[in-house]
Every structure is written in structure tokens, then in C-alpha cells.
Chains A and B, each alone.
Chain A
Amino acid sequence: MKNLVYTTTALCFLAAGTATANEFESELKTLAAGKIAEIATSSEVIDAVRAQNGETGAFNQAKIDELDKTWRAEAEAVDQPMIDTVLERPLSTFLADVQESSDGLFTEIFVMDGKGLNVGQSDVTSDYWQGDEAKWQDTYSNGKGAVHISELEEDDSTQTLQSQVSVTVVDPDSGEAIGAVTFGVNVENL
């Protein structure tokens, strides 16, 4: 029953077509400053991002596109070597643990590097590169303290009414943005 109400509400918002601000914006902002910031500043995240930046800093767009294509193909396939590599990383395990212990609050967590490529993630995503999306652009480019809150939507892969909250990952030594992290938040569990 609850599901139905929320779905209807969400659909109403979507149908309206306007970028109506997320109803839960204030709560999500609080979350972003709280739990989410905690994880974004954890050493597991920062170290992993730094390490990957060392590798992918040199990638050009062509390379990025190639990787993304491979990922998307693999996502539909039975053999998923690239996906498996990323998801078996320690950071991914860490993020999966965080998601599991969040009691259903987080539906997905993924960390992006300086190019917008996935560093680690709690579950498989449909694509590898977020660089062309607002969630990375609005955070990474805006540096420290930036928060991006997406619109509410009924997510296909997680089947919940959720909003994506993204924050910048900042290198504590230099104070500069080195990446971003996105949390899928199940607003029903807020």
C-alpha cells in the first residue's frame, strides 16, 4: 500500500516534467553532512581513489569510452571479468558492508575517481563512467563540500523509490577534490 502511494507520488512528480526539488531534500542534506560525509572521508575511500587516479589520470576520452563500452556489454553477459575485478576490490567489499549495515537505507554506493570512472561499488552498475552525469560533474568540479541531490525516482535495478546523494571526495592533505561518491538512498527508510 505504502509502495503504491509513493509510486503514485513519484509518478506525479515525474509527470509534471519539471525539475521539482526533491521533497526529502533537507533530510538528504542532513544525511550528506552526516553519515555520507563520514564514509566519503574514510581512509579506505580516499586511498583507493588516490591509487586509481594514479592509473586513470592518463586516460583519454577514447580509452574511457572503450572501457565503458566493455563494461556495459559485460553487464548484459554471463561472463563479467571486468565487472568482477572491480567488484572484488577491497573498497567494493567495504562499500558492500556499509550498505548491508545501513539497514536498507543505502541501496547502492559507488565511488568515482578524477575522471568519473568507478573505483569501487557495493553492487554492479549498468555503466562504468559517470563523467558525463551531474552526480559527478556537480561535485567533483565544485570541490570540497559540494553535494548533489538527484530527483526521486523508482529505480529499476533496486525497485525502490530513491534519490542519489553525491558528495565530493577530498584529499585531506591537499584539500583538493580527487573524486566523488554517490549513495543511492531509499527515502522510505530515511
Chain B
Amino acid sequence: MPSRAILENSVKVAAKLPALVLGIALLCSAGVGIASYISSANTVKGQAEQRLMALAESSRDSLLELYHGKQRTIEGHVQGKTLRAAYSAFDAAWAKYKDKASATLTKIYVTDNPHPIEERDQLVKAGRKPYDKAHAKHHTPLRDFADANNFPDLLLVNMNGDVIYSARKLADFGVNVQAEAWQNTALADAYKTIVADGNGAVVAYDPEHYPGRDNEATGFLAAPITVGSKTIGMVVYEAPTSEVTTLLGKFAGLGETGETLLLNADGLAMNDSLRTADVSELLSDQFNAPEISASMSGGNTFTRLPDFNGQDVFAAIVPVTAFGQKYAVVVVQAASEVLAPLTTLQIWIFASAIVCALIAGVFGLVTARGLSARISGLGDVMNKLAGGDTKVDVPAQATRDEIAEMAASVRVFRENALERERLEQEQKETSFETARQADAVASLISDFRSEVTEMLDAVYSNSEQMRTAAEELNGVADETAGEASNASSASEAASTNVQTVASASEELSASIQEIRRQVQSTTDIVQSATQAAMQTNTKIEGLAESAQRIGDVVNLISAIAEQTNLLALNATIEAARAGEAGRGFAVVASEVKELATQTAKATEEIEGQITEVQAATKEAVSAIAGITETMSQVDEYTGTIAAAVEQQGAATNEISGNVQDAARGTQDVAQTIITISEKAQVTSSSAGQVLNASTDVNARTTDLRETVDRFLKAVAAA
């Protein structure tokens, strides 16, 4: 059909709608985003230009002020009498030394200067000679002037080109500027210009590498010293480059990357950027650009320099003229820093655009899908209806829109088609009704017959199966019963054995108890024996002590006996002396002596006895010790026995316990066996019942079969 062909070649609504919504969303977001980005970029750039230009101009103004200030100071100084007087004094004094001036004075004021190199200007009075007097008088005001006006050095040069004085006494003190080493310096040039050619104004020399300061960048301002119209000498001030650096080293408003540079007409930097503390930009030619040179002859310029010492920057260039020379103040800031706010903006715009587009796309997609699903659903139904399928269901519509109205119409179409079908059907049915009935009955009969036959066959086979099963069950039950009785007798035997073990362990336990008792009484005996031994020991000690005491007494007696002996001796002597009268006494004395001797003998005997007693005591002590030791050994053995007995007792208990468990176990087994036996009985009787029942069923099935047969035959005949 033509309409269907067209449908297949064009794009579906399901795709068109979301695509449209997404497209519009993207367009709007992009448009807004781009417009606002461009506007912001311009604003940012415009503001950067204003800011940098303002900084450049204010730097230029400050520089001019500085330069003019210096110029006026110099002019004032040069016209003043102090400088002239000083110069004349130095010049005259210098001349007195003739051709030894340089050597002599350099030695005194530089080489032999007692101060360290950075304080050489502290030397005021070095001696009594004419130069020293001039120096003593004029040096301090000159030095103070240089200090006050930030001139790193101040030099006086005579008409011969000799540097007859310098405030700081550095390498250029006392040299002649026309000498080979100096003839390429600014000093030589100044000398030529001022002294030789008679130039009357202040001449400025940009910083350049100068041998007098270890090749550091040094600039000079030179002026003639005149009396009337006649030039009598030259004064040279070292330019305050560090002051310029400090002046331009203010980074307010320049963020992290901005800086200010002063370039001269040759494109060399006249200041050092304070951004880089360890690198000096002075005299660097890396900062030159054609725009800068152009600006020096033109005017203020604001531009972008993609390669300014390797950086991409925005530059505000302001020309400035000083001392008749052209310079340019260049204030730069890294383009990335200037445009930094834009980067953030870019990201925000991009993000919002994407988010909006996504939301719109999703929304569009969802709506479109809904609509097109409904439309195509309806389309399907109509197709089917047109093809003759009236069974389709028109889907229900949730909203009351055009599609819902279309659905209602389709519903009406379907109703009509259904109605038409129904009427056709009724007609057909009436004519076929009768023929149909007869056929139906015949088929019913045959169906019934086959079905019944099937069913009865099934029943028969089932009952056969039941019988077989019942017989089997019977057999099993019998076997089980047999086995159960076997088991029963076995467990009884086990039970008996358990009993035996139990009683045996009882006996064992009893004997162990007996042993324990015996051991205990043994231990007790041993204890009392040990105690007795201890007591005996004590008694024996007592004995020993007594023996000791006896010994002591004996000793005493012995001593007494000695004494008595002596006494007797004395008495004998006395008696002898007394002669006759003492004879009786002598007899007594000899008697006493006799007694003493006997006593001594007796004591000896006693001592002997004591010794024996002591020996006997020692033996007794050792015997007792022996007994005690034996006792403790016995104690040990009984202890061991007791422990062993304990162990045995524990083992016996365990045996008892286990035996109990075993006994219980056999009980359980016996019980279980009985239960099994009973169950086997029950099974047996049930199986018998089943057998009977199945036999019964078989008989009845056969009857039923015959009855059905008879009925069906009757119906077929009717």
C-alpha cells in the first residue's frame, strides 16, 4: 500500500522530536555562551589595558621626576662654590706630586686604605701632605653629598684625564681615562665630550659593563666644572641604577607575573627586575621588541607580545625622554594571568551549556517516546483491524488529546466489524446444526469406549503391582523379625559381660581403697618414728651437753687437785723447815698430797668415761640420723605408692564410668530391637491386608468391564 511505503522511507517522529529539542537547546546555550564570553573577554582586556597603561604612565612620571631631580641636584652642585673649591684643591695638590701622583696616592688611599673595601670612603685624613690636607678638608662634604643623593660614587677628573679624586676609592681612583684600559669607558667618552670638546651640559651614560666595578653595569652622569665660560675640570656622578630598580620594582596591581622594565633606545634593560632575586636583568637584550622601538618615536602603545623574554604577555609601552635620550617604560603582565578570569568563565559557560542541553535532550526524548509509542500502538491496531483481525484491543489512553480521540474512533470501527462478523456467523450455524449432532453422538460413543478401556486396564495393572509389592513386604518383615531376635540375644550377652566388668571394677576399687588405707597407716607410722627419732636426737644433745658440763667440772676438780698438790708440797717444805715440830704437819701434808693425787687420778678416769660417753653419743646421733634417713626413704616410697594408687583409683573410676555407659548402651539396643520386632509384626499384618484388597479389586474390575461393554453395545444399537 502506498501510505505504508512512504512511512518506511521517512524519519520516525520518535527520532525527530528529541533531535529537534536537543538542537534548539544547544543552539540557545551556545549562542548565549559565546556572546557572554566575547563580551567578558573584551571587558577583561579593556581593563587590563587601562590598568597597565596607568601603571606605565605613573612609572614614567616617577622616573622623570627622579631624573629631573638628579639633574637639578647636579646642576646646583656644579654651580656651587664648594665643588669648585674642592676641585681646585685636589687639582693643585695632585700637580705637586708630578708624575708620581697616581702611584703614590693610589697606594695611600686604595691599597693601604685601612678600611674594608665597602668602607674606604671612611678614610678622611691619611697624612700631612698637600693632597692629604685637601682630602681632609673636602672629602667629607663630597662624600656626604653623594650619600644624601644616592650617587654610588663621585669622581673628579682634571683636564689631563686623571681621576684626581673619587669618594669611594675604588678601582677607578687615580687612573687616567685616556689609558688603554679605560679608553672605551663612559669616562673616556665624557672626558672627550666635556673637556676636549667643551660641552656645557650634563651628559648621561646608560649603564654598561664597566671595568672599574668588576664589569658590573654602571651608568654615569658627567658635568663640566667651570669658572665663567672656561672649563677647569669634570665631575662624574655614578648613576643611581639601584634607585631606578627600586622605583620600578613596585608590583602593586601587577599580580604575580607583572613587572616594569625600562629600556633604552638600543633595547637594553636599564633596571633589574625584582621578581628574580638571583638573576640580573640589567643590560639584558631579551626584552626588546619592534613595538617598543616603534613606541619610542611614536606614543603610548598597548599590545600583546607573544615572546617577551620567552613569555606571552600584555604590554603597556610608554616612551620617556631624559637627558636628551629616548627610553621606554614597559609594563607587562603574563597573558595567562590577565586572562585567568576568562578561563574560569569559559569552563562555567561550557558546563552550563552542556547541562542545559542534556536536560532538554532527556526531556525531549522522554516526551517524544511517549507520543510516538502511543501513535505507533494505535497504528498497529488499525493495521490489524484493516487486515481483518477483530480480536485486537484498542489500548486505553491516559490523556484526552488528539490521539485519544483517534483511539475512540478506532474502537467504534472495531465494534462495527465485530457486529458484522457475529451476524454472518449465526446464519452459518443454523444450517450446519443438525448434521453436526449426529456426527457428534457417534464420535462420543467411540471416545467413551476407548477411554473406559484404558482406565480399566490401568486399574488392573496397578492392582497387580500392589499385590506383588505386598508379597515382597511380607517377606521382608519376616526376615526383619528373624534378624531382630538374633540381635536381641547378642545384646543380652553383651549386657551380661558388662555386668561382669562392672563387678570386677568394683572389687578393684575396693582393694585400691584397702591399699590406700595401708599406705596411710604406714605414712603415719613413719611420721611418728621420725618424730621419735627427733626427740631422741634432742635427748642425746642434752646428754652431750651434760657430758660437756661434767667435763668442765672435772677440769675444775683437776685444777683444785693441782693446787692442793702444790699446797701440800709447800706444806711439806714448811714442815721440813719447821723440823721436828712440823713432822706431824708433814704427815698431814703428805696425806693431802696423796688425796690430791688420788683426786687427779679419779678425774682422769672420769675424763676417760666422759670421752667414752661422748663417743657413744656421737654414734647414737649418727645411728639416729641413719634411722631418720631410712624413714624418709620409706616415706618417699609410700608416697610413690600412694600416688600410684591414686592413679589406679582414677583409672578404676574411669572404667566404672565407661562400664555404666556400656550397660546403658546395651539397654538401649535391647529396647530398639523390641521396637523393630513390633514394627515388623505390624508390617506383616498390613501387607496381608493389602494382598486381600488387591485381589478384591481385580475381581471388581473384571465385573465393571463386562457391564460397560453391555451398555455401549445397547447405545450403539439405539
Contact = CB atoms under 8 A, between A and B. Distances in A.
B128 A124 contact: yes
Contacts of B137: 156-157, 159
A83 B132 CA distance: 14
B128 A87 contact: yes
A117 B96 CA distance: 27
B688 interface: no
Please classify the interface of chain B as helix (H, G, I), strand (E, B), loop, or mixed, using the class held by over half of its residues: helix
Given A157-B133, A157-B137, A159-B137, A76 B96 contact: yes
Given A80-B128, A80-B129, 12 more contacts: A75-B130, A76-B96, A78-B96, A78-B97, A78-B104, A78-B129, A83-B128, A84-B128, A87-B128, A124-B128, A157-B133, A157-B137
A78, A83, A87, A124: most-surrounded residue (chain B CB, <10 A): A78
Contacts, number: 23
Nearest to B98: A78
B130 A76 contact: yes
Contacts of B128: 80, 83-84, 87, 123-124
Interface of B: 96-97, 100, 104, 128-130, 133, 137
Nearest to B137: A159
A124 B130 CA distance: 10
13 contacts: A75-B130, A76-B96, A76-B130, A77-B96, A77-B130, A78-B97, A78-B100, A78-B130, A80-B128, A80-B129, A124-B128, A157-B137, A159-B137
A86 to B, nearest CB: 10
B233 to A, nearest CB: 20
B130 to A, nearest CB: 6
Interface string A156-190: 11010000000000000000000000000000000
B93 to A, nearest CB: 9
A123 B96 CA distance: 20
Contacts of B97: 78
Complex A-B, nearest 9 residue pairs according to Cβ-Cβ distance, in ascending order: A124-B128, A78-B96, A78-B97, A159-B137, A78-B129, A76-B130, A77-B96, A83-B128, A87-B128
B104, B129, B130: most-surrounded residue (chain A CB, <10 A): B129
A156 B129 CA distance: 16
Contacts of A156: 137
A83 B96 CA distance: 17
Nearest to B129: A78
B84 to A, nearest CB: 16
A185 B527 CA distance: 126
Nearest to B131: A78
A75 B130 CA distance: 7
Nearest to A84: B128
Nearest to A157: B133
Nearest to A75: B130
Contacts of A75: 130
Contacts of A159: 137
A159 B133 CA distance: 11
Interface in A65-124: 75-78, 80, 83-84, 87, 123-124
B97, B104, B128, B137: most-surrounded residue (chain A CB, <10 A): B128
A77 B128 CA distance: 10
A156 to B, nearest CB: 8
Interface string A113-149: 0000000000110000000000000000000000000
B170 to A, nearest CB: 24
A170 B59 CA distance: 73
A153 to B, nearest CB: 15
A80 B128 CA distance: 9
B131 to A, nearest CB: 8
Contacts of B130: 75-78
Nearest to A87: B128
Nearest to B101: A78
A83 B100 CA distance: 20
A75 B133 CA distance: 10
A77 B96 CA distance: 6
A77 B129 CA distance: 7
A78 B94 CA distance: 10
Contacts of B96: 76-78
A185 B128 CA distance: 20
A84 B133 CA distance: 15
A135 to B, nearest CB: 21
A171 B137 CA distance: 37
Contacts of A76: 96, 130
Contacts of A123: 128
A159 B96 CA distance: 23
Contacts of B133: 124, 157
A84 B129 CA distance: 10
A80 B130 CA distance: 10
Nearest to A124: B128
A123 B100 CA distance: 24
A77 B104 CA distance: 14
A95 B96 CA distance: 29
A124 B100 CA distance: 22
A147 to B, nearest CB: 29
Nearest to B133: A157
A161 to B, nearest CB: 15
Nearest to B132: A124
B148 to A, nearest CB: 14
Interface in A37-90: 75-78, 80, 83-84, 87
Nearest to B104: A78
B96, B97, B100, B133: most-surrounded residue (chain A CB, <10 A): B133
A102 to B, nearest CB: 16
B375 to A, nearest CB: 105
Contacts of A78: 96-97, 100, 104, 129-130
Nearest to B140: A159
B324 to A, nearest CB: 36
B162 to A, nearest CB: 16
A19 B104 CA distance: 44
A76 B96 CA distance: 8
A79 B130 CA distance: 10
A159 B125 CA distance: 13
A18 B128 CA distance: 34
A87 B129 CA distance: 12
B574 to A, nearest CB: 116
A124 B132 CA distance: 11
Contacts of B104: 78
Nearest to A77: B96
B138 to A, nearest CB: 9
Contacts of A83: 128
Nearest to A123: B128
Contacts of A87: 128
A133 B629 CA distance: 138
A177 to B, nearest CB: 29
Nearest to A156: B137
B312 to A, nearest CB: 56
